Structure formats: structure tokens, C-alpha cells
Structure 1
Amino acid sequence: MHGVILYCRAGFESECAQEIAALAASHGVAGHVRALRDDAFIEFVTATPGEDALPRLADPRALIFARQALPVVAQLRDLPSRDRIAPILDALRAIDARWAEVLVEAPDTNDGKALATFCRSFGNALVGAMKRMRLIDAAAPRRLHAFFPQSDKVYLCAAEPSRASPWPRGIPRLKFPREAPSRSTLKLDEAFLVLLDENERERWLQPGMSAVDLGAAPGGWTYQLVRRSVRVVAIDNGPMDAALMQSGLVTHVRADGFRWRPPKPVDWLVCDMVEQPRRVAALVAQWLADGACRRAIFNLKLPMKKRYDETLLCLSILREALGAKGDIRARQLYHDREEITVFARRTH
């Protein structure tokens, strides 16, 4: 096989497939998609080996619905249960490369969870065997992913750390803070981690900055801003968490999130309102275009049908409003469900 393996949320294989097919077409890469619903991964198979554009396709930063995108260097089927390591080592010898580290992974599905114990124990054995063969070198430029959709089948993939997601299966593991008022807090925590780089988080999430949280109650997203010492105006007709209000950093305004505007520009607008996605996209686009906020992170709740089309429409609303001055990044996060999370800002 020559191509790319893409991990995604189970049930969103179609959207992931449409997206990688469109990206491949834009780069002039011929190929086709193999996908089954609820597998939590898809394959994009190129027509010929050695496509120059494959590194650009295997970049989850350029994709919304892929958690990880990995160029395949070998595919092995019907692995013998008594010795899976030997054929993998043979394939690695043929590749003739060293690897900075090794990740053994399974799909993010119920069946994949059942494979987790196998992946852990097999991963330890594989790493040990590779070390004995001197196939692991911390200075090597690539990371090896051994992806097992089932215990007798593996895709060996090569990832460039600068392009690939740094987390196993592309999923950052976050701990729910017990003092947070709702589990939705993990969405914004993950958004800051995935959609911003370390330098941006340091510069754009400084103590004393200002933010507005539309549809804030009970305060899951507000909590993430407060823990970073950002002052928040929480807009919602519902009640806010009492402990959060005691922080002294939150002002609760009972108002319609679609009509309220700040008296002066704020550093951040965040929004997790249950509304039509195109209506939320238009609202945030207006805030940014008018200069009411400098940056925004918000969720778009996708419809049951034509989710990819709706995603493109919402992003086009933002691009039209911001034009060449826009920086727009979108991703379906692990803690998202039937939604995507978007970061947007005016660049100047």
C-alpha cells in the first residue's frame, strides 16, 4: 500500500474521507479512499508510490476531521499469533531506517479498547527487539507508528514529529478538574492545547487579559479562562457556578448572546452555544470583523446530514468576513462530539 492512514472519530469516516480527497485533489495527487463506518480510521491509497505531495497530505494540522495522518511505509496481514514481531522486523529491515520512538496503536473504538492491553504488551516487546537490532535512535528524524486495526494486521507508518500530532492516537489525555462546573471545560482546555502552539498560548493567555464567554452557564469554558487569570464577562440568562463567581474574575451578565456587545474590544471571545452552526459562524465573524474581539474559539454543532458541507459553509462565512486578514484553524477534538472547534483571529 502507498498512501496515508488517518485516525478520526468513529462515525465521521465519511467527513474525513471527503476532506482528504479534496486535499489530495488540490495537490494533484491521484488516489482513492477506503473507509468503513465506525472504524475510526480511513485509508487514502495513492495510485503510484513516492508521491511528492504525501507529506502535505499527512499533516493533521491541515485537516479538520483527522486526529492523526500518517504515511504508510508497509502493510502486513495475517500476522502469526505465535510471532508477530519477526515479520515486522523483516519489513523494518527492508525500509532501512532508524526511528526516534515507537507508538503501537489501535483505533479509538470499543474493539480498539479491547486491543489496548495487547498494544501495550506488544509495544514493549517490539521496542525491545528494535533496540537489540539498533533500529531506535533518539536523534532519528522520524517516529514509527505500528497501527493495529486488528491483532493480525498492522500498518507501519512513518511520522515526522514536526507535522504529526504528538499524542498517541492523536488524543491528548486531559484530567477533568473536580472544581470545574461541567465536563465541557475539557473542550476549551483541549482547544488551547491543539489549536494553539506553545508560544501562542504563552503570549495570548496572559493574566489580566479580557474575555467574553457567550452562553457561559454554568461556566465550564469560563473556568478555563479563570484558571489562567483572565477576566471574563459571562453572558447567559442561566445561573453561573457559585464557586466560580467567587474568584472575583467573572462578571455575569444576563443577556442574549447574539445581541450583547462589549463596550470596548476584548482579547478573547469564546462560545459554546447550542445553535445553528452557520448562525454562530456569522456571529463570531461579525465580532472579529468589527474589532470587538482579537481572537475567538467556538464550537459549531454540526447537523445530522451533510456535516462536511455545513463545515465548509461556516468556514467560508468566516473567510469572507476576514479576507486576507484572517487566521482560521478548525479541528474535531477528542472531547467534541457532533461538532468541531474553531480558532479565528484577524492577523492585522
Structure 2
Amino acid sequence: MSQMDALLLYCRAGFEKECAAEIIANAAQLGVHGYVKAEPGSAWVLFQCASAEEVKLLTTELPFYRQIFARQWICVSPLIEGLPEGDRLTAVRARVAELVPRYSEIWVETPDTDAAKTRLGFCGRFTKPLTNALEKKNQLALGSSAPRLHVCFVADDAAFVGVIDADNSSPWFMGIPRVRVGKDAPSRSAGKLVEALMVMIPEDRAHELKAGMRAVDLGAAPGGWSWVLALRGIRVTAVDNGPMAAVAMATEMIEHVRGDGFSYRPHRPVNWLVCDMVESPSRIAQLVAEWIARGHARHAIFNLKLPMKKRLEEVRRCADIIEQRLAREDINYSIEIKHLYHDREEVTVCLMQDKAVR
């Protein structure tokens, strides 16, 4: 019987090195040491452990939402290779039959690369006969607490088969949220904030972003992020020396203040600070930390533009900058850092003060 003794992680193509380094470090904190397979540009990383128990430990003790560069993770059995073009189902079905007694859902996926995505049509067609096979064996219990089945075709003739608990993984197919941004969006960056609001604010804190609140958008022009907030009924002070798009100002929820994002401070505290300025990540981290520490804003969502090298190290350095500054004010907070689907050479950070402060 095949053992699920490896962890498959999806990521953005080109960020395999960071995804690998992150899971190695996080696993080491739990005393788990393995090795990785990470081919540049493949959009996936395999972390090989000594046993299935070690893999289960990782996906039980490590919160998935804390993983920065991983879009999804799956406990997988060894790669099935040499699948014949005329009958890929037989070998996959045999592997699926021996992993766990039942599955709650079936996702047949492929890595997120231009080449791999040509297989998505096949993945869709493959799902139906696999579903039928599991139903005949009474192995499919839709909506149950059983793990979700993943079949990931990393090549036309090769696939990983594995499972993951829905409670500690991405809820989206291929780990990619389906984000809808209006055609009138002032900029492509609007998608980043829409995704961040969907992914990074916990359900039990959704009430902390609602109509009637106030926000400041530093480096706002042409207004993509301000526009997203305005459509949610939030009044925004958009700070930028550049012009704002007419569609953003047409919401009548945005006040454009011409000025420098680093020197501007609000006359009174606001609920949210948002920032997508192109600047060194450490400088942005210092700026946001200062806003929170001085009480100018309660929560923040912002982007850190990453260097070409040592990306993970730079993210950790920025997190340390924020931690050290807020510790001096004894501010309790939660922070989530994520390389979102709409992010490129950057990560998005959501910093929320805990309910008990001040």
C-alpha cells in the first residue's frame, strides 16, 4: 500500500525556492527534516519526509494560512509515472482506492503554469469517470468530514494522488481564489485588494471592515485600492501627488489629498490604512508600524515589493521590524502575510489589532 509520505505544495511559478525554504524552516520547528524537489518555473514543490506520520504532523500542527508562498498543500503518495494516454484512469483509480476509506470531494488539478494549464480541459473530463468509480466503490461521501482527494497532473503521463483536510488548506481549486473585479477598475492592482479582503480577513472579524468606516490609502493613484474600499461603503482619503481615475472619484466616497504618502498623517484616527506604494519593503514596514503604534489606524493591508534575491529573508525582516515597533507600545496584533494570486514580485500583509487592545 502506498504511503503519503510527502507534502506537495503549489506556488506561483518562479517562487519554488521561497516555497521550499519556507516549508523546510517550518517543518524543522516541529522536528521534521526532509528534502525538497523544486524545479524552477514548475509552480510546485515536493517536500519528502521520512514517514506519512511526519507529513500528517505538518498539516495538523502548522496552520496553512501561515504559509506565505504556498497556495495549497496536499499529503501525497509517490508520483505515478508512465500513465498511458489511452488509459490514465486505471492506475489513478487503483492508487485512490488504497489511500483512505472515503473522500468528501474530488479535485483533479494541474500546476499553474502556461504549459500545464493546457491540461485543465483534460482534468475536467477526467473528473467524471473518477467520480463514478469512487461512487461505485462507496468511497465518495460528499459534504462529509472525510479528507478531500487531489489528483495533480504534473505532466501528461504523471500525477500525484493525495489528500488534505479541508479545515487546514486552501478552499479554492488549484489554490486560486475566483476573484471578480469590475471592468471599470481604475487599475490592475484593484484585484490584489479584492483578493486580500476575501482571503486574509477571518470570518469572525469581517465586521471590522464595513460600510461607514474610514480608511487612508497611501500612494493611491490612480485609485484601484481606494475604489475597492469605496464600493464597500468606506470613506477613503486617497493620498498621492498623481491624478486619480475619474471612475474612482465618481464613487463620491473618496477625498483626494495631494501629498507624499510618507509624510501624511490623518487629523483623526481611521479604521484602516492601505498602501500599495512602490518602495523598499523595510521602509513600508516601518511606515505602517509607525501608523499603528501611534494610533493613526487600527488595521492595515499593504504590499511589500520584494527584491529579486533573498525574498523570504526580506519578508521575515519586515515582520521583525513591525513586531519590534509594536512591542514597544504593548500592542497585541495578528499578522498574515501571503503571496496572493494577484501578487507578482510582492507579498500582501494584513495586520489587525486584537480586540482587547486599547
TM-score, length-scaled by structure 1: 0.96
What's 2:76 paired with?
A: 72
Q: Give the Cα separation in 1 of the matches to 2:132 and 2:188.
A: 39
What's 1:46 paired with?
A: 49
What percent identity do the matched residue pairs reach?
44
Q: Give the Cα separation in 2 of the matches to 1:4 and 1:96.
A: 16
Equivalent position SS for 2:301: strand
Q: How does 1:76-87 map to 2 (within 5 A)?
A: 76-87=80-91
Q: State the Cα distance separating 1:80 from its structure 2 match.
A: 2.2
Is 2:118 aligned against 1:110? no
Alignment match of 1:265 (pick from 269, 275, 293): 269
Residues 224 and 248 in structure 2, CA contact (< 8 A), matched pair in contact too: no
Q: Give the Cα separation in 2 of the matches to 1:93 and 1:5.
A: 20
Alignment match of 1:32 (pick from 30, 35, 41): 35
Q: State the Cα distance separating 1:199 from its structure 2 match.
A: 3.2
What is the letter of the counterpart of residue 266 of structure 2? P
Q: How does 1:94-243 map to 2 (within 5 A)?
A: 94-138=98-142, 139-201=144-206, 203-243=207-247
Q: Give the Cα separation in 2 of the matches to 1:23 and 1:309.
A: 14
Q: State the Cα distance separating 1:282 from its structure 2 match.
A: 0.5
Question: Greater CA deviation, 75-84 or 270-279?
Answer: 75-84
Equivalent position SS for 1:176: coil
Please list the CA deviations of residues 138-182 of structure 1 after superposition, one character each: whole Å capped at 9, or x if unmatched: 224211010110121111121111111011111012233012111
What's 1:16 paired with?
A: 19
Identify if the C-alpha distance between structure 1 residues 96 and 273 changes in structure 2 by more than 3 Å, giving closer, same or farther. closer
TM-score, length-scaled by structure 2: 0.93
What is the letter of the counterpart of residue 336 of structure 2? R
Aligned-residue Cα RMSD (Å) equals 1.5
Question: Greater CA deviation, 327-336 or 236-245?
Answer: 236-245
What's 1:336 paired with?
A: 343
Q: State the Cα distance separating 1:60 from its structure 2 match.
A: 2.9
What is the letter of the counterpart of residue 119 of structure 2? L
Alignment match of 1:7 (pick from 7, 10, 17): 10
Q: State the Cα distance separating 1:54 from its structure 2 match.
A: 2.4
What is the letter of the counterpart of residue 156 of structure 2? S
Residues 278 and 305 in structure 2, CA contact (< 8 A), matched pair in contact too: yes
Q: Which runs of 5+ in 2 are unaligned?
A: none
Q: State the Cα distance separating 1:200 from its structure 2 match.
A: 2.1
Identify if the C-alpha distance between structure 1 residues 152 and 59 changes in structure 2 by more than 3 Å, giving closer, same or farther. farther
Residues 64 and 330 in structure 1, CA contact (< 8 A), matched pair in contact too: yes
Please list the CA deviations of residues 207-239 of structure 1 after superposition, one character each: whole Å capped at 9, or x if unmatched: 110000000011100111011000000000011
Residues 231 and 251 in structure 2, CA contact (< 8 A), matched pair in contact too: no
Is 2:314 aligned against 1:307? no
Residues 271 and 299 in structure 2, CA contact (< 8 A), matched pair in contact too: yes
What is the letter of the counterpart of residue 15 of structure 1? E
Alignment match of 1:292 (pick from 258, 271, 296): 296
Equivalent position SS for 1:53: helix
Q: Give the Cα separation in 1 of the matches to 2:326 and 2:75.
A: 34
Alignment match of 1:247 (pick from 251, 257, 266): 251
Q: Give the Cα separation in 2 of the matches to 1:187 and 1:265.
A: 25
Is 2:62 aligned against 1:55? no
Q: Give the Cα separation in 2 of the matches to 1:123 and 1:137.
A: 15
Q: State the Cα distance separating 1:58 from its structure 2 match.
A: 6.6
What is the letter of the counterpart of residue 149 of structure 1? V
Q: State the Cα distance separating 1:74 from its structure 2 match.
A: 5.0
Q: Give the Cα separation in 2 of the matches to 1:102 and 1:135.
A: 11
Identify if the C-alpha distance between structure 1 residues 307 and 327 changes in structure 2 by more than 3 Å, giving closer, same or farther. same
Equivalent position SS for 1:75: coil
Question: Greater CA deviation, 23-32 or 89-98?
Answer: 89-98
Please list the CA deviations of residues 275-314 of structure 1 after superposition, one character each: whole Å capped at 9, or x if unmatched: 0010001100111111110100000000111111111111
Equivalent position SS for 2:264: coil
Q: State the Cα distance separating 1:250 from its structure 2 match.
A: 0.8
What is the letter of the counterpart of residue 289 of structure 1? A
Alignment match of 2:95 (pick from 91, 94, 99): 91
Q: Give the Cα separation in 2 of the matches to 1:41 and 1:170.
A: 12
Equivalent position SS for 1:126: helix
Residues 237 and 255 in structure 1, CA contact (< 8 A), matched pair in contact too: yes
Q: State the Cα distance separating 1:73 from its structure 2 match.
A: 4.0
Q: Give the Cα separation in 2 of the matches to 1:180 and 1:55.
A: 37
What is the letter of the counterpart of residue 12 of structure 2? R
Equivalent position SS for 2:135: helix
